[in-house]
Each structure stands twice: as C-alpha cells, then as structure tokens.
Structure 1
C-alpha cells in the first residue's frame, strides 16, 4: 500500500532537476553513488550522504527513497537541506520532495480519519510554504491539483467523523463538524453534502 501511494504521487515527476552526475571524488561517496545507481535506499546511504554533504546526490537519493515509500529517509536527507548547504542547487526541488513525503504520510492514514486530518494539515502548511518560498518554481504547477485533491480527501474525513458523531448520538458535535465542513470546504463534494444535511436538520 505504501509503495502504491508513493508511486501515484510521483506520477508526472520526472526526477531531480540536478540529476547530472556529480564530479565529486571523495572515497566516502563511492558506496553512496553505487547504491543510487542501483536504486537502493537504506540507512547507510542516508548516513553517508549526511556525513559528506553532497547536495545533488542527496536529492537523487531522496527521489529514489520516495519511490520506495521510505518517507523517513527522504525527511532525513532533505528536512534541513537549505541549512546544511551554502547556496545549494535546486532548493525548490528538495522542498517539493518534502511536500510529497508528507503527502505520502497523509495517504497512509486512510484508516484513521483523525490522524488523516492531522497529517493533512501538515501537507497544507508545506504547500503554502512552498508557494511562498518559491514563487517562480516550475514545481508550483504541481501544487494546485494536489491541493484540490488534498482538500477533497480532508473534507471526506471530516464528513465521516461528523456522521460518526451523529450516529453515536452526539448530534451537537456532528452539527458543529457539518458547519465546519460547509464553511471551510464549500467547493468539495462533502462540503455540498454538509450543506444539504444542515438544510435538512437545522434552521440557519
């Protein structure tokens, strides 16, 4: 399931803008380059790259790790990318991979609506941060459709929680959630359903 989710996220993403081969010759990066060329992602690869600070190799490795659903590895490689390197190449690509890693975390929570909303808010924050930090990035074109998809899925989670509360006899909480959905997710299918439910069950 995790691998399927990540592969879907990577559809249309052609790889790092800096996928050109590195000219670094440090002996400590030999194993890292070999693993990247073989498409391997493991703790040793992450540790080697963190130790030797090879930014373009870090991006290449993060892409491979994301393909394999290794979200923790992606985060370990890129979460402080701009802090560890002076004027690193393609910072927007690293930031975008981080948004995809968090989106993968969100997608892996489909059986827990409360957790799904928590992880979804983190994705939303990263999307907003990315657009603010990189207004001219080519990857901005990928944000809008993913944001719409995110909002639809978050609204569905909110709606399910509202119905669960109502079915459990906690109508007040259910109504509050319905109002929240109608207000903050008005252009989603659950937003329209929430409006219909409110029209039927309460005076507004």
Structure 2
C-alpha cells in the first residue's frame, strides 16, 4: 500500500502544470508566431524562450535563421546586452552571406552605441566624456564595417550619422582627459592627449579646445617654440576663438543643446 501511494505521488508530481511543456509538438511556424506575439506585447523574456525552442527543435530552414536574428533583438530589448551581442556575432559567423546580415551589423552597433547609456547620455547634464569610451569605440568599429561592406544597405545612412556622432564623442573624451591632466599639472600627459585628439579626430568640434590645451601645456613646460607653433595653428584655424578671452571656462560643451 505504501509503495502504491509513493508511486501515485511520484506520478502526480511529474504531471504538475509547471513541469508540462505546453509547446511540445508545436510546429516551427507556431513557435515563431507565438514568439512574435510575445514581442508585440513587449514580453521579451517569453519571446526569447520561444525563439530558443524553435532553433533547438528546428535547427534548419528559414524559421531557424529568422529566430537567430530575432532573439538578438529580444535580448537587447530585455536589457541583456551581452547575450544580444553574442547572438549577433554568432549569426554573422554562421551566415556571413545572408541577405539580411547587414541588419545584424546595424543591431550590433546599436547595442554598443547605447551600452551603459553610452554616448547618447550626452544629452543630459552629466559630463559624459568621463565615461569609459570602450562601448563607443566598439560601436564605431561596427558601424564603420557596416558602411564599408554594405554601402547600399538601408541601414547605412543612419550608421553614417551615428559614426559622425561617435567621432565627435570620442574626440571630446580625449580632450576631457587632456584638460584633466592640464589642471592637475601633468603637462606632458596633457600635451600627448591633445596631440592624439588632433591627429585622430580632425575636423571635430573638440579640435579647438585640443589646440588651446596644447598651447597651454607647452606654455607651462616652457617649450616656447612648440607653444608658438601650436598657437600659430590655432589662430590660423580659429581666429575668433572664445578660448582666447574665456580660457577653459568657456561655453557649454558641444553636446549640450540647452
């Protein structure tokens, strides 16, 4: 009697609702449809589960490839950037000639563009150049590859705009570091970072301040010839610079609209 009861209890436990896979026997199209429905409801976690089941049960065919793309987006929307990036890289590696692989490059660029608020955070009052620019550099590299490999992609125009933004942001970061060193008396380091910003990011809004910091750093070090040369270049390019009268306490940073 005791054994029969134990068997009955074990059988009952195995049939608990939470242990029953309601998707068992679903077709690939059914799983995909349910995953898309979950995405439409912003239920990203549920969508990821359906896409993963789809790929696991039906690893070949158009639904599997589409699931690999969609799951990257769903991971991103649910806030799991690491898994989203891994999904993008996996798809690019497995399907380098897929007709929509350009989208995966674009999505990868977006993920790192907004990583940890990324450089979009420039629109708030915090000095975002203090952030680690690692995500911005990764985003820049990805968008650059997209533009070079797929010049006719529908995602390329937006990628170019983001590239321009990222160049300005990365230049501003270098100038922020140069300014930081200057204020703390690390003049050699300040001059080096200014020179790097000038050479790596020409024609950006940060160039003006980079040149001014370079002049100031050379002046502090008593390098009169280098100072004169840097000032000549600055006055040639920025004859009416506000830095001449206001110094480093000038207008608002380039990213602050208000």
TM-score, normalised to structure 2, is 0.59
- Structure 2 CA distance for partners of 1:87 and 1:156, relative to 1, 3 Å: closer
Contact kept, 8 Å, 2:118 with 2:136, in 1: the verdict is no
2:205 corresponding residue in structure 1: 189
**For residues 71 and 193 of structure 2, what CA distance do their matches in structure 1 show?**
42
- Structure 2 CA distance for partners of 1:153 and 1:85, relative to 1, 3 Å: closer
Mapping of residues 114-193 of structure 1, within 5 Å: 116-193=132-209
- Structure 2 CA distance for partners of 1:49 and 1:62, relative to 1, 3 Å: farther
2:242 corresponding residue in structure 1: none
Task: Report how far residue 87 of structure 1 moved.
Answer: 5.2
Which has the higher Rg, Structure 1 or Structure 2?
Answer: 2
1:57 aligns with 2:67: yes
Mapping of residues 74-113 of structure 1, within 5 Å: 74-85=84-95, 88-105=98-115, 107-108=117-118
1:20 corresponding residue in structure 2: none
- Aligned-pair Cα RMSD in Å: 3.0
**For residues 49 and 150 of structure 1, what CA distance do their matches in structure 2 show?**
37
1:25 aligns with 2:27: yes
Where 2:114 maps in the other structure, the secondary structure is helix
How many residue pairs are counted as aligned between the two chains? 181
1:40 aligns with 2:40: no
Where 1:99 maps in the other structure, the secondary structure is helix
2:228 corresponding residue in structure 1: 203
Contact kept, 8 Å, 1:49 with 1:58, in 2: the verdict is no
Contact kept, 8 Å, 2:75 with 2:81, in 1: the verdict is yes
Q: Where do 5+ consecutive residues of structure 1 fail to align?
A: 1-23
TM-score, normalised to structure 1, is 0.72
Contact kept, 8 Å, 2:109 with 2:139, in 1: the verdict is yes
